[in-house]
Amino acid sequence: MSEGYDIVLASASPRRRELLAQTGVDFRVHAVDADETLDERLAADPVEAVKKLAERKAKAAVEQLVTPDYDGTMIVLGSDTMVVFRGEIFGKPHDADDARRMLRALSGHGHDVHTAVSLWAVHAPAGQDVGLFYRTFVDTTYVYFRDLDDDEIEAYIASGDPFDKAGAYGIQSGAGVFVDHIEGSLDTVIGFPVERLRREFPDIFDVG
User: Which residues 6+ apart lie within 8 Å of 58 measured at CB?
Assistant: 10, 76, 77, 78, 118, 119, 120, 134
CA distance 80 to 102: 19
The catalytically annotated residue of 6, 33, 45, 80 is 80
Q: Which of 13, 76, 84 is nearest to 47 (CA)?
A: 84
How many other C-beta atoms can be found within 10 angstroms of the C-beta atom of residue 179?
Answer: 16
Q: Which of 3, 5, 9, 4 is nearest to 197 (CA)?
A: 9
CA distance 182 to 186: 8
Indicate if 80 belongs to the active site. Answer: yes
Residues in the chain: 208
Phi-psi region for residue 103, left (φ > 0), alpha (ψ -120 to 50) or beta? Answer: alpha
Catalytic residues, by residue number, are 80
